[in-house]
Structure 1
């Protein structure tokens, strides 16, 4: 990781089980070398400038899998990664963090995993500042904003699941609609989501590399890990194919 070039480093991060690697490499109390700390410090600080947005997301995810409390410096590493990412790149990082198909989302990272109010405050302030810069580009109709709008409308779409994405079949308490069978996806709803995300100035076809800005809301309580969410995650993954 330390000696490879930027391309090789990003390839390694994207093709190894980084969370498992963080777990297996230990900081040994009886030895001077702190192997896990040195590795994460290398990725989250020393070589961070050469990491792609996807690689940064993977490093954040690996630290969430490891649990931030496993290392006293973990929250500082998270803050450094996020504060070193700006404007459209930061929007992409947040979107990719929420699009991994598990419950390790940006909300969990900021409001559950991070315990320091100071660090959380620093990160939220950074997000606000970068959003203000993006909004300024849009209001001034800069070249950067026009180029961005050619790819997407840059909006976050919030949707319910029952009686919105798929029919509840009138099954209480999920919903009341009996027009279709239970769990039947409404005709045209996926195309509707896609058009909302692409916007009027976006491309006709969905780019393979693009990550959608669709967020599903659920009233189901979070129980343990992703026990209550994994069924929906599997459904969303199937619909995406």
Structure 2
């Protein structure tokens, strides 16, 4: 008499429409069931092989992304790695692209970057990255991806004394939405917006998950978070190195895309952005730096020659993006309205509101 797990494997192996069977199914629970109770044998490798190798071509990108995410508890690196390689080999064209974006928007650390650069073996990683390059080579248009810092870019945290600490900058959410809606091939598609930060992930991903949870209620487009480690927060140089590594990973995972990097003047972001442009000018549309430290005019000019633009309010960021063809004129107006609304609130410290409003009005009218 066969046990329940053997019967499930047999049923899945012969199901006529396996994709329909697994759509909406609790794959996390299914994977846990194959871990086995108490002393029972762990059979997750068999389930992974069935779904990722034997029947991967019968499954949609959405179901495969859910399968891969459910496999995150697998500790055998060879089993996990070979299964992921099988998924990438089973897909092509739009399904291949959709799988990447869906896996990149899981809402936790087990996203595309983590899977490829931390869970695959050396050989399988190079194979998967080659498959990504092959699929990207057939695409005619460079889609836009948005890379954004968090501290002093989305929230006033370290260097900005004009706003209440921890407050969300007026207009930043509207700006990121306009970038996502205005220049992405598929507005609102999961995975187009990535936050790159030097914040450490922490034990069991607790700090990074805290960061994700803090971003969740802001109304941002679907996004993922690439973090750092405790070793990367000691100096500006180490912070910059981690952010550049995140960019290099992004570029390898999405070689078909162009990038806009949004950062601030407080923690090496201008240098990171200039290095991005120098390394891959064809991939970086522009670097936008939120000036929270009062950057001198000569330095702003020098940065501009390196592909780095500065702004003081998100009205200015929207105007710059409009000049690059990334945000519509109507989008600029929506961002500016959001900026003015935010400045008329208690997130602004006393004595700064009038100057900020004047700056926003000046920046939104800039040529």
Which residue matches 1:178? 161
Do the aligned residues in 1 keep the contact of 2:85 with 2:128 (CA within 8 Å)? yes
Counterpart Cα distance in 1 of 2:130 and 2:184: 31
Residue equivalent to 1:159:
148
Which of 118, 121, 125 is the aligned partner of 2:123?
Answer: 118
Between structures 1 and 2, the one with greater strand share? 2
Q: For residue 180 of structure 2, what is the aligned residue in structure 1?
A: 197
Larger Rg: 2
Runs of 4+ deviating beyond 4 Å: 200-203
In the alignment, what sits opposite 1:214?
Answer: 193
In the TM superposition, what are the counterparts of 1:1-241 in structure 2 within 5 Å? 1-6=12-17, 9-26=18-35, 35-69=43-77, 72-114=78-120, 116-134=121-139, 137-138=140-141, 154-168=143-157, 175-199=158-182, 210-240=189-219
TM-score (norm 1): 0.74
The Cα shift of 1:211 comes to 1.8
Output the aligned Cα RMSD.
Answer: 2.9
TM-score, reference length from structure 2: 0.51
Once the two structures are superposed, residues 22-81 of structure 1 have per-residue CA deviations (whole angstroms, 9 ceiling, x without a partner) of: 2321489x99x9843332222112221221211111111112222343xx4332111010
CA–CA separation in structure 1 for the residues paired with 2:176 and 2:115? 26
Give the whole-Å Cα distance in 1 for the aligned partners of 2:181 and 2:93. Answer: 19
Structure 1: gaps of 5 or more residues: 139-152, 169-174
Query: Distance in 2 between the 1:240 and 1:191 partners?
Result: 9
The 3 A distance-change label for structure 1 pair 220 and 35 is: closer
Equivalences, count:
208
